[in-house]
A and B are shown apart, each in its own frame.
Chain A
């Protein structure tokens, strides 16, 4: 991860998050916000292709993820109809009405399935990545403290994580979202509660291992502040396994968000979301003729998660080879 990649990720990430979470507050500016992100995605994809060319698994994975990322940032500029506008209900894929081509058909309320899929990708990706990042910030922070400082810190953090891990994930989600109410921000909290303990265990193990290495002891002898040692010396040096796990975890979080929306616990309608699309089609149009309404979002979410998993597999494979 060099600085170029970090800048590119920031160029994609901040506008996209701002666009999805605060679109109404941004006003006219929102229309231009995502323009620089489009070339950034393409450049990032080319960079990934070049540095991962020895693993076709990672290439396939990054292609799938980049495709959806591109769809997410390009959604406002693609020639798509409004995803929430009722036009013609129950139109089969490929049908043309009012001079509009419904490539993937329309759903039971007459909304374009293709448009909803592309816009839904934006919500899934933004909330998924944000939730994973927050979980990582909390989990890695606790893991570093537990592993590096040890002692009572370790006892306390480990016990807290054991308590959280004793809840089955879905039970924890239902409990947290019922207690706090159903919104995107509470999904972040729920995901953090379930993922941070696992991340904490991983980082704790890595920190314990790295603690006795020479470079850490050198830093201690120099008299560096523990915070500096943890964040600048230790964390960057154990990033390999963390990046692999982060890629896997992005997949898990995407599953969680889609599933929660399906259960009606997550992001709220009417804005499109893959889980919501499946839920609506499964309740209102459960017939062979209309199965495209469910299949399109189901395949979309599967391909995105497959992408994350393949990136993780490829990275692990490459790290073992070195």
Chain B
């Protein structure tokens, strides 16, 4: 078990190293460097940048050194937590990052806090009795909520809850202080899709377990049905959903971009999007790096959970 995790960690480190090299190469490309030069020199566009100014800027920034030397220096400063300055907002990137990650963290906390109990329960209830009316209803609703893209869910929820009923504000910018009412729409948008997805996966896992031999044996030897489900079926049925919950962290990082931009919530996704649009390269680079770290970390956690929960992997 330990061996497997060590191997995964090594693999992840190798991937992170490659990704950082790739990212550095992307942000080191002439296209992005010119954008950065324009932003810093205060020009109006890449076209107005004269070749002399550009070369002088490169010289001043020490960007004329060989690629690998610059990569080494960059990696060192990143590892020390120094991510540079935001050109747009003129503060340290790490401060900006901390702020937006906290906001997204609040959103993510509520998503997981509601999603896990609700979807596991519904998925198990549906998978327990495949084909029952309850299963039909849950399955159809889950297919519907996973088929509606989040951009459409956001629209429909805004129209119904904010424009029609007026219960919640249309935007979650929270200009005058933090409020839970402002969080409702982004939260519901994220939840509808994620719950549907996890319910479908839990139902599939539960269905498979319920059809297996050992459950039939347990039922036939006369165990109470509650006990069969709670003690025998659940333990195996929940292995896959639990690993998927960790992977949802990765999915959430994609989803928050759309949801936060739509509802103007000041979180990580919106920061990333704004930085990309504004050409705030230091922020974009740092945000991408964080996103990849979280994604890779969540994969590692998911693998670890699988190894930990599944005895078939643990003992072989």
By a beta-carbon cutoff of 8 Å, the part of chain A in contact with chain B is 159, 162-163, 166-171, 174-175, 178-179, 251, 254-255, 258-259, 262-264, 275, 278, 282, 286-288, 291, 294-295, 298-299, 301-302, 305-306, 309-310, 313
B313 within 8 Å of A (CB atoms): no
**A288 lies within 8 A of B163 (CB):** yes
Contacts A163-B18, A169-B254, A294-B159; A302 near B148 (Cβ below 8 A): yes
**B257 lies within 8 A of A295 (CB):** no
Contacts A163-B19, A263-B257; A302 near B159 (Cβ below 8 A): no
Task: Give Cα distance in the complex from A255 to B147, angstroms.
Answer: 9
Task: Give Cα distance in the complex from A163 to B158, angstroms.
Answer: 37
**B288 lies within 8 A of A179 (CB):** no
Task: Give Cα distance in the complex from A178 to B26, angstroms.
Answer: 10
**A309 lies within 8 A of B146 (CB):** yes
Task: Report B260-300 CB contacts with A as 1/0, cut-off 8 Å.
Answer: 01100000010011001100000010011001101110010
B138 CB, min distance to chain A CBs, angstroms: 15
Residues of B within 8 A of A299 (CB): 152
Task: Report B130-169 CB contacts with A as 1/0, cut-off 8 Å.
Answer: 0000000000000110111111100110110001100000
Residues of A within 8 A of B239 (CB): none
B172 within 8 Å of A (CB atoms): no
Residues of B within 8 A of A291 (CB): 159, 163-164
Contacts A286-B170, A287-B163; A166 near B156 (Cβ below 8 A): no
The chain B residue with its CB closest to the CB of A294 is B155
Residues of A within 8 A of B150 (CB): 259
The chain B residue with its CB closest to the CB of A179 is B26
**A174 lies within 8 A of B276 (CB):** yes
Contacts A166-B292, A170-B269, A288-B163; A301 near B29 (Cβ below 8 A): no
Task: Give Cα distance in the complex from A112 to B288, angstroms.
Answer: 40
B164 CB, min distance to chain A CBs, angstroms: 6
A105 CB, min distance to chain B CBs, angstroms: 14
Residues of A within 8 A of B276 (CB): 174-175, 178
Residues of B within 8 A of A166 (CB): 15-16, 19, 292, 295-296, 299
Residues of B within 8 A of A286 (CB): 158, 163, 170
**A163 lies within 8 A of B15 (CB):** yes
**B258 lies within 8 A of A263 (CB):** yes
Contact of B147 among A159, A163, A179, A251 (CB under 8 A): A251
Task: Give Cα distance in the complex from A251 to B273, angstroms.
Answer: 23
The chain A residue with its CB closest to the CB of B152 is A298
The chain A residue with its CB closest to the CB of B253 is A168
By a beta-carbon cutoff of 8 Å, the part of chain B in contact with chain A is 11, 14-16, 18-19, 22, 26, 29, 31-32, 143-144, 146-152, 155-156, 158-159, 163-164, 170, 250-251, 253-255, 257-258, 261-262, 269, 272-273, 276-277, 284, 287-288, 291-292, 294-296, 299
**B147 lies within 8 A of A306 (CB):** yes
Contacts A163-B18, A167-B295, A310-B143; A179 near B31 (Cβ below 8 A): yes
**B143 lies within 8 A of A171 (CB):** no
Residues of B within 8 A of A258 (CB): 149, 151
Contact of B151 among A167, A178, A298 (CB under 8 A): A298
The chain A residue with its CB closest to the CB of B166 is A288
A24 CB, min distance to chain B CBs, angstroms: 26
14 further interface pairs, Cβ-Cβ under 8 Å (given A163-B18, A166-B19, A262-B262): A162-B15, A163-B15, A169-B254, A174-B273, A262-B258, A263-B261, A286-B163, A286-B170, A291-B163, A298-B152, A298-B156, A302-B148, A305-B148, A306-B148
**A255 lies within 8 A of B159 (CB):** no
Residues of B within 8 A of A294 (CB): 155, 158-159
Contact of A302 among B22, B147, B273 (CB under 8 A): B147
18 sampled A-B residue pairs with Cβ under 8 A = A162-B15, A163-B15, A168-B251, A171-B292, A174-B257, A174-B272, A174-B276, A175-B288, A179-B29, A258-B149, A263-B261, A288-B164, A294-B159, A298-B156, A301-B151, A301-B152, A302-B147, A302-B152
Task: Give Cα distance in the complex from A125 to B261, angstroms.
Answer: 25
Task: Give Cα distance in the complex from A291 to B273, angstroms.
Answer: 26
The chain B residue with its CB closest to the CB of A255 is B149
Residues of B within 8 A of A282 (CB): 155, 158, 262
**B156 lies within 8 A of A295 (CB):** yes
Task: Give Cα distance in the complex from A115 to B84, angstroms.
Answer: 48
A169 CB, min distance to chain B CBs, angstroms: 5
B250 CB, min distance to chain A CBs, angstroms: 6
**A259 lies within 8 A of B155 (CB):** no
**B253 lies within 8 A of A262 (CB):** no
Residues of B within 8 A of A295 (CB): 155-156, 159
Residues of A within 8 A of B261 (CB): 263
The chain A residue with its CB closest to the CB of B294 is A168
B296 CB, min distance to chain A CBs, angstroms: 5
Contact of A263 among B31, B273, B295 (CB under 8 A): B273
Task: Give Cα distance in the complex from A179 to B279, angstroms.
Answer: 11
Contacts A259-B151, A275-B151; A168 near B29 (Cβ below 8 A): no
A182 CB, min distance to chain B CBs, angstroms: 11
**B257 lies within 8 A of A163 (CB):** no
A285 CB, min distance to chain B CBs, angstroms: 10
B4 CB, min distance to chain A CBs, angstroms: 16
The chain A residue with its CB closest to the CB of B258 is A259
Most buried by A among B22, B151, B262, B269: B151
Task: Give Cα distance in the complex from A255 to B193, angstroms.
Answer: 13
Residues of A within 8 A of B11 (CB): 162
**B151 lies within 8 A of A262 (CB):** yes
**For the complex of A and B, 4 pairs with smallest distance between CB atoms:** A298-B152, A170-B254, A306-B147, A168-B253
